[in-house]
């Protein structure tokens, strides 16, 4: 069965995480994604946690793609890239601002040969301004966006990183959505466009929905900001940890029943949702003092009986065997020809009539170079000449 994006062709010039995750999402949903790599390959190929010549990071962000190696510093390699782009629907790049224009793959150069293409630029801090040309990594975006102070809980606490590369991954998801929106617009108008997004813009926008409450109301920005998400923290039990969330009055009352503590309903600080939020620290300390005396299993049984929102805190090892994960059919095991048996998640979006499949494992560097060139009208002699002068590289695949 073909995915919902079957028939769309995407040229992927990106590396690392944000761009590759965006294009992998499109590939998972059926698009033909051609990953164009320099002779040294995407840096993500070379990071740790490896087997069979592949890093886990590269495997997880580049499945369902085909790889062609083109040296864009070689005029013949650049010309070949433009032939690939001539009938593409989308081209995505995450070079530092200005680099794409400098090497000849900026929007103007590509649109000259394909006026209707969706041209996508992903940046770190932005495309203009004092930080636009700074080198960027995920922790820097967490710092400038305010995410580290949100994670700390308040402005007074020591800033803390989210222990996953949230800006990179969130930008990838946002980029995939923006690309499909641009494709939908093109079907209605016949016009391509330039989609630009930065990691910084993505994270600040993401935070605004729940963590910038004081700054939403103009004129009320003074004072220390606390995290505005209605999230209770992790609580210790006698044998592990549990998460319990009580937001509405009915949930607070249900928690009191499950805990056998009707007295907490008489505490003036906690009688309303506003009061429970204002006195958040005291409420969390109270809940922790109650939960520490029984096991996780006992608390889950008692809390679930009263319909209190709760869940066990799982390690990564426990996640992959949890019955809810199994019921969702989320984790799949595949046999990669080079890396061997691997475990990944399916694409999280389920489509009732156009469900995609895992067609290809992440490619060897340059695995489909000759195949892709031939599809775009290059004959055998021309392909051989491109390889001879270093403009293109075909991988040597084991039989």
Task: Write down all domains in the chain, each with its CATH number in brackets.
Answer: 9-207+329-393 (3.40.50.10540), 241-312 (3.30.1540.10)
**395: phi > 0 → left, psi -120 to 50 → alpha, else beta; which?**
beta
pLDDT at 395: 96
Q: Judge whether residue 399 has pLDDT over 70.
A: no
Instruction: Give pLDDT, residue 156.
Output: 83
Q: Which helix (H) or strand (E) holds 65?
A: strand 65-70
The mean per-residue pLDDT over the stretch 132-159 comes to 93
7-30 per-position pLDDT tens digit: 999 999 999 999 999 999 999 999
Q: Is the pLDDT of residue 326 over 80?
A: yes
**Residues 6+ away with beta carbon under 8 Å from 327:** none
* Alpha carbon distance 250, 259 (integer Å): 14
What would the pLDDT profile of 59-93 be if each residue is shown by its tens digit? 999 999 999 999 999 999 999 999 999 999 999 99
* Distance separating alpha carbons of residues 193 and 181, to the nearest angstrom: 11
Does residue 219 have a pLDDT over 80? yes
For residue 1, is pLDDT > 80? Answer: no
Average confidence score pLDDT of the chain: 94
At residue 219, φ and ψ (nearest 5 deg) are: 95, -5
> How far does the chain reach from its first CA to its final CA, in angstroms?
29
Contact 4, 30 (CB under 8 A): yes
Lowest mean pLDDT among 154-158, 242-246, 310-314, 349-353: 154-158
Q: Is the pLDDT of residue 285 over 90?
A: yes
Residue-level pLDDT at 42: 97
Q: 78-115: buried (b, 16+ CB within 10 Å) or exposed (e) per residue?
A: bebbbebbeebbbbbbbbebeebeebebbbebbbeebe
Task: Indicate the pTM of the whole model.
Answer: 0.93
Indicate if the pLDDT at residue 224 is higher than 80: no
């Amino acid at each position: 069965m073909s995915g919902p994006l079957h028939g769309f062709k995407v040229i992927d010039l990106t590396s690392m995480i944000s761009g590759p995750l965006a294009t992998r999402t499109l590939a998972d949903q059926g698009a033909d994604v051609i990953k164009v790599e320099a002779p040294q390959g995407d840096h993500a190929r070379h990071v740790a946690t490896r087997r069979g010549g592949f890093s886990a990071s590269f495997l997880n962000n580049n499945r369902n793609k085909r790889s062609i190696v083109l040296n864009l510093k070689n005029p013949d390699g650049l010309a070949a890239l433009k032939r690939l782009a001539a009938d593409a629907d989308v081209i995505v790049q995450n070079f530092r601002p200005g680099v794409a224009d400098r090497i000849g793959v900026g929007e103007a150069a590509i649109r000259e040969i394909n006026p209707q293409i969706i041209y996508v630029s992903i940046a770190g801090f932005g495309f203009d301004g004092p930080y636009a040309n700074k080198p960027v990594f995920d922790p820097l975006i967490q710092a400038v966006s305010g995410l580290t102070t949100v994670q700390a809980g308040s402005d007074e606490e020591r800033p803390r990183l989210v222990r996953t590369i949230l800006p990179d991954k969130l930008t990838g998801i946002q980029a995939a959505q923006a690309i499909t929106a641009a494709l939908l617009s093109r079907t209605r108008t016949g016009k391509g466009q330039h989609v630009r997004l930065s990691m910084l813009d993505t994270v600040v926008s993401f935070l605004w929905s729940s963590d910038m409450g004081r700054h939403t109301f103009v004129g009320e920005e003074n004072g220390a900001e606390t995290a505005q998400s209605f999230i209770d923290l992790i609580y210790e039990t006698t044998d592990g940890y549990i998460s319990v969330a009580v937001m509405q009055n009915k949930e607070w009352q249900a928690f009191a029943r499950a805990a056998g503590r009707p007295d907490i309903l008489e505490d003036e600080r906690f009688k309303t949702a506003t009061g429970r939020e204002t006195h958040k620290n005291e409420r969390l300390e109270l809940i922790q003092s109650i939960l520490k005396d029984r096991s996780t299993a006992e608390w889950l049984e008692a809390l679930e009986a009263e319909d209190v929102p709760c869940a066990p805190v799982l390690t990564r090892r426990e996640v992959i065997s949890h019955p809810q994960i199994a019921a969702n059919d989320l984790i799949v095991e595949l046999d990669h020809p080079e890396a061997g048996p691997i475990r990944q998640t399916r694409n999280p979006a389920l489509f009732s009539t156009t469900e995609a499949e895992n067609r290809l494992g992440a490619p060897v560097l340059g695995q489909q170079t000759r195949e892709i060139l031939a599809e775009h009208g290059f004959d055998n002699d021309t392909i051989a000449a491109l390889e001879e002068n270093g403009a293109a590289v075909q991988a040597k695949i084991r039989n």
